Amino acid sequence: MAANFIGDFMRRLVFGFQSAGVRCIAAAGFALLLGMTGAVAQSGAQDQKPAANAPSPTDVAKDSQKKTDEFVEATNAINGPAGNPECVWLGRRVVVLMWRDDLDTAFRHLDLYDRFGCPGGHVQATFRCLVRFGALDPKVPDSLNGRVHACWINPNAQPQTAAVTPVTPGPSGGAAPAPAPAASPEAKPADAPK
């Protein structure tokens, strides 16, 4: 009988702790679940707010159409593989990356460009054209991409030189131009001894 008593006592003790432990774990899990539900609901509400700088679907469609038009323009303007869409896309990226001094990434893209059988000389000519045009206007958005595309289409393009302003005649109409100012006495000719 004593063995029976000890067995009943141990069974109640073990199962009593087990159910109390399960209750504790269940209560803690329920509290955690409620907390997570609130956090997920808040983050979901934040995700639903439109971002101020996110492009609208119409802007995305216009951009996609513009890119398609650029590929068609390149295909029509360039004979050979340099006009293929994959060559245009990769080649222009290589030139942009080279302009931004990201040479490691540019060389990786150039490897892909070569794998597609695209002519490496066209990238070189396009970059030469871009360098001839010089600095870009940071106020104009997308000016680099536009200039790279223009150079890709016509790598022999030359930058327009500044127009020479004509000399306007003086008040008398045919008067001779004013004499050049005299050199200062401190100025020495370049080949004069010191």
**Per-residue model confidence as pLDDT tens digits over 63-78:** 777 777 887 888 788 8
**Tens digit of pLDDT for each residue in 95-149?**
999 999 999 999 999 999 999 999 999 999 999 999 998 877 777 777 888 899 8
Does residue 16 share a domain with residue 68?
no
| Cα 67 to Cα 15, 80, 141, distances in angstroms | 71, 20, 16
**Tens digit of pLDDT for each residue in 138-188?**
777 778 888 998 999 999 888 775 444 455 555 555 555 555 555 544 555
Does residue 119 share a domain with residue 80?
yes
Does residue 15 share a domain with residue 72?
no
Does residue 96 share a domain with residue 14?
no
Residue 57 lies in a domain: no
Residue range 84-97: average pLDDT? 93
**Model's pTM, two decimal places?**
0.51
How would residue 25 be classed by pLDDT, with cut points 50, 70 and 90? confident
* Residue 31 to residue 15: CA distance in whole angstroms: 24
Residue 142 lies in a domain: yes
- Helix 143-153 × helix 85-99 angle, to 10°: 130
* Residue 131 to residue 134: CA distance in whole angstroms: 5
Range with lowest mean pLDDT among 35-39, 77-81, 157-161: 35-39
With a pLDDT cut of 70, the percent of the chain lying above it is 58
Residue 178 lies in a domain: no
Does residue 26 share a domain with residue 88?
no
Does residue 69 share a domain with residue 35?
no
- pLDDT(92) > 70: yes
Full residue range of the structural domain in which residue 30 is found: 1-42
How would residue 40 be classed by pLDDT, with cut points 50, 70 and 90? low
- pLDDT(16) > 90: no
Give the total number of structural domains in the chain: 2
Max CA-CA distance within the chain? 140
